[in-house]
Chains A and B, each alone.
Chain A
């Protein structure tokens, strides 16, 4: 089977890969590209563990073909911290114990960042609906929601 050559950008870096037509973006991220921070929980777009951004838009990478990454800019958890400096959401999750096993955490963080970029001042209900596509079985969501709300408040304060 011949492979398709894809030129894309991942976490701001130019990237090229060869892929089967049937491979998902998730398969390529976790396989040949070695970016295993993006997790596979279901493969059907129901758990959000594989969340990435594509040109800034939140996507389940298990539902997107790898060839569709051509010319796009992909953001994964590996690119969330900048030069060793954690993103405020990452720092707040640690401070507020907003993770237990941590398997959903990369997807939750990517979703939460996408939410705050669109809505820097969300209500609790907006956070809950914004993260409704990310299953977490450990935390009961309480500390996740609080961490996102507190980060949003900190980021608004910092932006003044």
Chain B
């Protein structure tokens, strides 16, 4: 490796996919067409909860221009009594999510799909499908779904011996919490709620597929994993994976929600039936109604502390709102909420609750922001009551290297205190804050921390030397925020050539080896590790070639600055051979130069973050504005600092939306009332200030460049940090999100 020069690692290079993206040439999922293509459209349930007695598609099929109609009968069934897992997804739920089977479980749940010569004809055909529904009582909120007389979504599900909407539990324990609370000088217990929030990617789900006459399928769609698209489509259609080529389009945001499929298997079935390529594009209304938000939550957190701030016991009970089918990310709040702290006695319990809303999907650090909102708010209250600085108290209680984490393993590096120190030393935390700047306005400052597991897993990377001596790198990971730029930096550094001579592309399922999802903050970690192994192999090949040409041992050749040099006793005996020269001689000296490395990567140490925020509250209008935001995180090594900062800034602003403005509104019939970007209020440019990232680069010793996952930890602290700042401003502790103007004025009026 070329540690000395370090020309490209850490450089703010221009991303390989950049020019296409600023000129409108990059092709996203809805930008593709195929010859002879027709259009697909979903018929969606108008009811929040209904049994499907029968579906009559004959009138739709008879409409001129209609080429195919499919229902759940056409989708491979996964019977309820046998779980079939694909990663963390249970195919019993996925098959029912892409097409309602026994029941429609939420307003917008697909019940049939049509392919026709135009979108208009497809929509007209949907209106002709006759579905006989038995409308059932519905439950939207967690509180309604866990009441003793709640409408039961899945009659086969039992909890504690009775039919229930609680479809799963998770418990983590350490020590004895009762004993711990008995030893505490102060115990604070509070109940919190958060609302489901949508990931809010600007690109609606879309796909174009072709099922050819020989049974071979091509899928063009954007996702966080083309291999996931292939596997799920295979399972839901019965077509073998070898016959499905899933081509990753550029992805217009995913944030976790594009780790499952909604459209691709249905489009394949329509294409198989019609014999034509089929394109389906969701409207924004469909995205908001029927694709996965992050769950809402109902949480109780109780923490006991000694007078000096030492935490002695913590108990958390986390109910997460799964939507119509099971699968809340319980490991988020249950595992992450207390993980950063060395607390001897912990009991952390999660419940997966189904209700008549769209099935949840992953959203950036799934479940962790919820738990941190509760835990970090309670810690703030404890520090206040004990008269301690909230950051000092966190330092006192930080987990140490070697401690057993609540979720199982012993910690390697723990860089939590470094993130706290970075905030303590930052001018922001020390700056005076005028808490009453003008009449009707209050200001406050809050801090909070966050933890995320990070992840390794399977990645494949090809490195090929072109005949003219440049480098093409192929990875198997959709690039959601600049990973190609980071990998280009690593490969340019290791091979020792100009960054502009390295091109990084994303392979499709039939051209690159299996690579797991882009998610869990794993891609830059894993693919840089595998790209490094690939480069080492390629450099080995290049040294072999040079050794052959010079007729010396390969061990007597070194690789430096893109050239083979004779080393040791042979130093200086031969003129260096450049990559270009070796590439030109490749065929006569043994054939093409290149390799593919496939690894199941490990060593992704967890991510820690500490944030500080100043807010201003208009006490008449209830508007909370973020004035200043500073976010410290251990990023290990920033391969491309611009995109690392971008992850932190973007995650924080998503957290600001979650804290202050985003929520779904449902009407009395259980229908989503705000399925537009006007009414589902995500932060716009004028809502937020600059977000100052502090990148701490403490190398991860288990990674060749020191990388740690970055993308998820930044969304964990903001909810609590902002709530703590609002408390500092108003003296009111908000335990329910969002802190939107009507909710804030309501609390202010209560006094």
Contact = CB atoms under 8 A, between A and B. Distances in A.
Nearest to A87: B22
Nearest to B654: A137
A145 B690 contact: yes
Contact of B253 (A129, A134, A137): A137
Contact of B686 (A81, A132, A138): A132
Interface stretch (B197-205, B263-271, B720-728): B197-205
Contact of B203 (A35, A95, A101, A128): A101
Q: Is the interface of B mostly helix, strand, loop or mixed?
A: loop
B18 interface: yes
Contact of B252 (A81, A94, A101, A134): A101
Contact of B649 (A30, A81, A142): A142
B481 A41 contact: no
Nearest to A111: B685
A36 to B, nearest CB: 4
B682 interface: yes
B688 interface: yes
B21 A104 contact: no
A41 B253 CA distance: 11
Given A97-B12, A142-B690, A145-B690, A137 B255 contact: yes
B284 interface: yes
B571 interface: no
Contacts of B31: 30, 36
B19 interface: yes
Given A137-B654, A145-B690, A39 B28 contact: yes
A139 interface: yes
Nearest to B288: A42
Interface stretch (A2-10, A44-52, A65-73, A150-158): A44-52
A1 to B, nearest CB: 10
B601 interface: no
Contact of B23 (A40, A43, A81, A125): A81
A105 interface: yes
A63 interface: no
Contact of A76 (B24, B204, B643): B24
A91 to B, nearest CB: 8
B481 A101 contact: yes
A132 B201 CA distance: 17
A80 B21 CA distance: 12
A42 B677 contact: yes
Contact of A41 (B17, B284, B684, B688): B284
Contacts, number: 177
B23 A94 contact: no
Q: Is the interface of A mostly helix, strand, loop or mixed?
A: loop
A83 to B, nearest CB: 12
A81 to B, nearest CB: 5
B691 interface: yes
Interface in B9-62: 12, 14-15, 17-19, 21-28, 30-31
A78 B23 contact: yes
A39 to B, nearest CB: 7
Nearest to B648: A140
A139 B284 contact: no
Nearest to B202: A41
Contact of B15 (A38, A94, A137, A139): A94
B685 A137 contact: no
Contact of A44 (B25, B676, B685): B676
Given A86-B22, A103-B253, A140-B691, A49 B643 contact: no
Contacts of B684: 132-135
A103 B461 CA distance: 26
B158 to A, nearest CB: 40
Interface string B676-698: 11100011111010110000000
B251 interface: yes
A39 B22 contact: no
A44 B30 CA distance: 17
Nearest to B649: A140
A77 interface: yes
B454 to A, nearest CB: 19
Contact of B646 (A35, A97, A103): A97
A56 interface: no
Contact of A103 (B252, B281, B640, B653): B252
B482 A97 contact: yes
A131 B683 CA distance: 12
B600 interface: no
Interface string B623-662: 0000000000000000010110110011111100000000
Greatest chain A CB density within 10 A among B31, B200, B202, B485 is at: B202
B472 interface: no
A138 B21 contact: no
Interface in A93-141: 93-97, 99-106, 109, 124-125, 127-129, 131-141
B508 interface: no
B677 A39 contact: no
Given A46-B676, A90-B23, A97-B482, A138 B284 contact: no
Contacts of B485: 97
B678 A94 contact: no
Contacts of B690: 124, 142, 145-146
A138 B650 contact: yes
Contacts of B482: 97, 100
Contacts of A95: 12, 14
20 contacts: A36-B30, A40-B204, A40-B281, A43-B284, A46-B676, A77-B24, A90-B22, A97-B640, A101-B251, A101-B481, A103-B250, A104-B252, A106-B24, A124-B690, A134-B685, A137-B253, A138-B480, A139-B653, A140-B691, A141-B653
Given A44-B678, A47-B677, A141-B649, 10 more contacts: A30-B30, A93-B22, A94-B15, A102-B26, A103-B250, A103-B253, A128-B685, A136-B685, A137-B255, A138-B646
